[in-house]
Each structure stands twice: as structure tokens, then as C-alpha cells.
Amino acid sequence: MMLMRLFTMGAINPDAVDSFAGIVVLVGISIVFLSLLVIYLFFRYGLTFILNFRLRHQARKKGLDPVEVETSQTSLSGEVNAAIAMALFMYQNELHDEESGVITIKRVSKTYSPWSSKLYNMQNRR
Amino acid sequence: MKNRRPWVMLGLLVILSLAWTAFVKPEKEREKALREAGIETVVDQAQYQPGDQETEGFASGLKQFWAFTGFRNAKTGNIIMMFIGLFFIFLAIKYEYEPLLLVPIGTGILIGNIPFFQDGGVNLQIGIYQTGSVLNYLYFGVLKGIYPPLIFLGIGAMTDFSSLISNPRLMLLGAAAQVGIFATFIGALFLGFAPPEAGAIGIIGGADGPTAIFISSRLANGVNLLSDGTTVKNLIGPIAIAAYSYMALVPVIQPPVMRLLTNKKERLIRMKPPRAVTKTEKIVFPIVGLILTLFIAPSALPLLGMLFFGNILKESGVTKRLAETARTSIIDIVTILIGLTVGASTQADVFLTKESIMIFGLGALSFIIATACGVLFAKFMNLFLSEGDKINPLIGNAGVSAVPDSARVSEVEGLKADPTNHLLMHAMTPNVSGVIGSAIAAGILLGFLG
């Protein structure tokens, strides 16, 4: 209620939403769409065509199917992607750029162990 | 932690509302009444004349010292703002909410609201709005829009556009989400803001802090003159705080809207994995993007020029040192400066106003509309796409920028519907295109209203 009251305290001015505001909105939205649409069209059709031109040309020379060559160069299956991601993950996890530098032997809470038993070692020295 | 976010935001709004109605408004009304009655604030010139200090002795010296302390000059608004600053620092340290931003902003609020002697307009060159002070020089970078393009340089140097290049049709979702900016612009006009102020408020819907600061510094900086001869309001602080607050609240605001606008079947849609992107394509993207977008909207040059420049540094492969500097040192330095100065610019008399509360309300509305538009546009695109080619509408929300939080929301919501359906890589396309889209929208607003 209080927030609503505070809102209504502002000088509400429906007349401010005039034709100029409409033009700003319409032109603005159109230009945002147009800009991103142009990039989309370029990368969807233009660049793919330019980059694959050489591939297709070479494929035709060698007598191969241009479409197949194009696909093999640009498409990776999900399994391949997963394998690459796994390899990168494992590689990065195994990197040891920095060591902790702590070399103190950690004291264990269990004081006795057959591994450190003098008596045990004396009896089984052979 | 997740459930606390709405309460935190609600708490902040309530504190602001209460503070304004309980303290600031009566104080302003009292000052106004005194002014109308012909009683000006008493300015004792003797208090700050060094010559008298020597003659009147110890008591006078103490009196003068007292006159200059923060205790004597403190106003209720300063104290409230300092609590808000402390609250931001608390949120950053305790709950790790955007700590890289909230710690500088929170500390900036503390610095900006330390009370000091400024009776009768005396300029001791301390405050951020006092000409010649160090803070004023640092604030120059905000006021003239220097810092945001530098942040965009860093963003460009750390962004991988491969997902966008591999599936460029999803870029349109980034465009659709920008409708929120323009809807908020209309809403702000309706609430009585002047057109340049409304444009600056609208950009909150772009969910991009640097863009919001850039536009508000140009359109609502407290310096420009409106067509009727009045000065435009200084809304940089409230707009920046609102933008960053809502960006932190993306995981709270977006999911209900996404669930409301999609059905179970739509949420289960599996999308094709993105294709591999060649190095050449990655290099060509920033160059072509730069030329195409800026030929269409040249007013977005400072932001998009730097964004694509940063990306060229990254993708060219021959400027690794420059790219590394842009994405680490430069962006860190500028973040410190922008956070501190934006925080310091929220002096109580500038920040604790009813306009700030309206800006917070409009900001929330803006995020909701932007999210809804992104999701609905994905559904609209599905009407024209074949069965195996459909888009999961849960990635539509990512069009609001807020990189990478909104893409993460898509992933989380997708996993809730189907624990094996990962949407993150698909959502990154509308996410980064949202950055480009909001910068273009900012340029357009600047072109019309600047």
C-alpha cells in the first residue's frame, strides 16, 4: 500500500507518451532486430558460403561429394564434443601450477599402528 | 540462500521507502517551510575563517573543529545511506552476492555519505560533487562515460562467441528481450520522468551495469538542460544500483515468468548440439559484427567498438598479452573505480528520493517484461521451425544479458524439467547477443534523446 502510495505521488503524466515516444520505441526495436538479423544472415549464409567455397572447390577437383566434405569439416557429433570436453576437464584438473608448500608430516589421531610398531618389526625382522 | 534473495530485495525497498517517507521528506518539507518563511540556514562565517582561530583562543578552536566534524554535519539521510552501504557490504561478505561489485559500491556509499562542512556552499574539495576533489576527478570517468567502454573492452576480451556463431538464429532472442528497455521507457514517461531520464531508466531492462551507467551518465547526469530550460535529474546512482541489484536477482525474478509462459512439453524440447566453429569464423565475427552493427547504429560506437576490439584481441591469437591485460587488470581497475564512484555518488540528498523508489519499481517491471518477451519470442519462432529444429523456450530469458547468470537460470530450469537436458551452451547465444542488443538499444536512445 505504501509503495503504491509512493508511486502515485509521482506526477503521472499520460500525455508524455506522445508520438515522439512511439517513434523512439518503434525505431529502436526495429533497429535492434535489424542489426542482429543482419549479423544472423551473414553468419548463417554469407560466411558459411565464403568459407566453404574453397572446400567445395577442392572436393570437386578430387571428385568427392562437396556436401559431405563440408559436413565433415564443420560438424562434430555430440560424442566427439563430450570426449573433447572430458579430455579438457581431466587435463585442467591434473595441472599442478602451484603446490601448497606444506611439507610437514600430518600427525594422525591414531597413535598405534602395526606399521609403526617397533615390537612387531623386531619379531618379524626376517 | 536462494530463498533469501526476494526478502533481501524487499527489505531494501522497504528501507528506502520508509527512510524517504519518515525522515527525508519531513526534513525537506521543514527546510522548504523555513525558506518560505524567510529563515535561511544559519551560516556562521566565523566558523571557517582561519584568522579568527588565532584570536579567539582554545574554545573558539574547539568550536571550529566541532563545526567541521561529521557529528555536527550529519543528517538523517546520511546515516540511512550509510546503513544501506553497510548492508551491501554485509550481503557481499556473508552471502557472496556479487562481491566484486557490492563491496566497492557499499564502501563508496559509506565514503559518499560521510557528512562534512558545506554550509553556504563552501567547497572544501572533499565530496564527490565538489569541484577539485579527488573523488570528483574519479567521478569524471562516470560522468563522461569513460569507464563503461573500458569494461566492455574487458568483456569482449573474455567472451567466447563460438556458441553464437554456431547457431546464429538464436541471436534474435537477444533482440526480443530488448523490448523490456523500450516498455520501461514508456512506463517512465508515464510516471512523469522527462524523456532523457526515461531513456536512462529504460536501459535497466538491458540488465547490463556498464551500459546503464553509460547511458545515465549521458542522459540523466544532473548537468544537461532539458528543452524547457530545467536541468535533468541526476539518476546515475539509483539507476546503477537498481541495475546491479536486479542483475543479482535474476535467479529470483526470471524462473516464475519462464514457468508461467511455458508448458511441460515445451520445457522438454531438446536442441541440436552446436556445431564446431573454426578459428577463422571466430576472427571474422568481431570484425564483421563491428562493421555491420555500427554502420546501422553508430551511436553505440563507444560500447560496441570496445566490445568487438576486446574480442579481436582475444581471437586473433597474436595479442595474448593485450587480451590478458584487458580481461584482468583493466577490467579490475575500472570495476574498482566505477563501483566506488557510483557508490559515492549516492549521497542522501541525491539518492533518497521518491524517484529512486520509482526507478526500483520500473527496474523490476523491466526485467519481467524482458524475460517474458525473450521466452514468448522463442515460442513464436517455434511456430515456423520443423519438429527436430525447435528451440526450447527456456533459453529465451537469457536474452536479457546479465551474463552469465541468466544463461545459468536457463540451465537450472531446463534440468528441473529434464535432468539430462543441458541448455547452458544454447542459452549463451541469446545471452551474449543480449549484450550486443542492449548496447545497440542504448545507442539508439542516446541518438534520440542525447
Model confidence at A32: pLDDT above 60: yes
Over residues B45-64, the pLDDT tens digits come to 444 555 555 556 788 888 88
Tell whether A88 lies on the interface with B, counting CB pairs under 8 A: no
Residue B17 and residue A3: Cβ atoms within 8 Å?
Answer: yes
On whether the CB atoms of residues B256 and B376 are closer than 8 A, the answer is no
Cα–Cα distance between A19 and B448 in angstroms, integer?
A: 13
**Residue ranges per structural domain of chain A:** 18-93
Tell whether A8 lies on the interface with B, counting CB pairs under 8 A: no
Which helix or strand (DSSP H or E) is residue B2 part of?
Answer: none
Of A16, A74, A78, the CB nearest to B190: A16
Separation in Å, CA of B422 to nearest CA in chain A:
12
Cα–Cα distance between A76 and A53 in angstroms, integer?
A: 20
* Structure confidence at residue A53 (pLDDT): 78
Amino acid at residue number B138:
L
Omega before residue B404 within 30° of 0, cis: yes
Tell whether A14 lies on the interface with B, counting CB pairs under 8 A: yes
Residue B169 and residue A40: Cβ atoms within 8 Å?
Answer: yes
Cα–Cα distance between B67 and A13 in angstroms, integer?
A: 44
* Structure confidence at residue B284 (pLDDT): 92
For B82-116, letters b (16+ CB in 10 Å) and e give bebbebbbebbeeeebbbebbbbbbbbbbbbbebb
The residues near A116 (Cβ < 8 Å, ≥ 6 apart) are: none
Over residues B246-286, the pLDDT tens digits come to 887 888 889 999 999 999 999 999 988 877 788 888 999 99
Question: What is the secondary structure of B197-242 as a DSSP string?
Answer: HHHHHHGGGG--HHHHHHHHHHHSBS-SBPTTSPBPPB-HHHHHHH
For residue B146, the SS3 value is coil
| Residues in chain B closer than 8 A to A2 (CB atoms) | 17-18, 21
* Structure confidence at residue B2 (pLDDT): 52
Over residues B325-376, the pLDDT tens digits come to 999 999 999 999 999 998 998 888 888 888 888 898 898 888 999 999 999 9
Tell which of B444, B445, B449 to mutate to test the A interface (max A CBs under 10 Å). Answer: B444
Angle in degrees, 0-180, between the axes of helices B354-382 and B4-19, rounded to the nearest 10: 150
The confidence band for B138, taking pLDDT boundaries of 50, 70 and 90, is: very high
Question: Number of Cβ pairs closer than 8 Å across A and B?
Answer: 143
Distance of CA B11 to the CA centre of its chain: 19
Residue B190 and residue A39: Cβ atoms within 8 Å?
Answer: no
Separation in Å, CA of B178 to nearest CA in chain A:
7
Model confidence at B123: pLDDT above 80: no
Nearest CA in chain B to A25: B182
Residue B168 and residue A2: Cβ atoms within 8 Å?
Answer: no
Kindly give the residue spans of alpha helices, DSSP state H, lying in B129-208. Answer: 134-143, 147-158, 162-166, 171-176, 179-190, 195-202
Domain span at B155: 125-449
* Structure confidence at residue B141 (pLDDT): 92
Residue A75 and residue B275: Cβ atoms within 8 Å?
Answer: yes
* Structure confidence at residue A2 (pLDDT): 47
Cα–Cα distance between B440 and B277 in angstroms, integer?
A: 25
Over residues A72-117, the pLDDT tens digits come to 665 666 777 788 888 888 887 776 666 677 777 766 666 667 777 7
**ipTM metric:** 0.79
Query: Mean pLDDT across the stretch B414-422?
Result: 90
What share of chain B has pLDDT > 70, as a percent? 88
Count structural domains, chain B. Answer: 1
Angle in degrees, 0-180, between the axes of helices B147-158 and B331-344, rounded to the nearest 10: 140
Radius of gyration of chain A (CA): 35
Residue B288 and residue A47: Cβ atoms within 8 Å?
Answer: yes
B214 or B349, greater pLDDT: B214
Chain B neighbours among A 36-55 (CB < 8 Å)?
36-40, 42-44, 47, 51
The verdict on residue B105 lying in a domain is no
Residue A6 and residue B13: Cβ atoms within 8 Å?
Answer: no
Distance of CA B112 to the CA centre of its chain: 18
Rounded to the nearest integer, the mean pLDDT of chain B is 85
| Residues in chain B closer than 8 A to A35 (CB atoms) | 175, 292-293, 296-297, 436-437, 440
The confidence band for A52, taking pLDDT boundaries of 50, 70 and 90, is: confident
Over residues B373-395, the pLDDT tens digits come to 999 999 999 999 888 889 999 99
Paired strand residues for B225:
B231
Over residues B65-114, the pLDDT tens digits come to 888 888 888 888 889 889 989 998 998 898 887 788 889 999 999 999 99
Angle CA(B428)–CA(B430)–CA(B433) in degrees, nearest 5? 100
Nearest CA in chain B to A47: B281
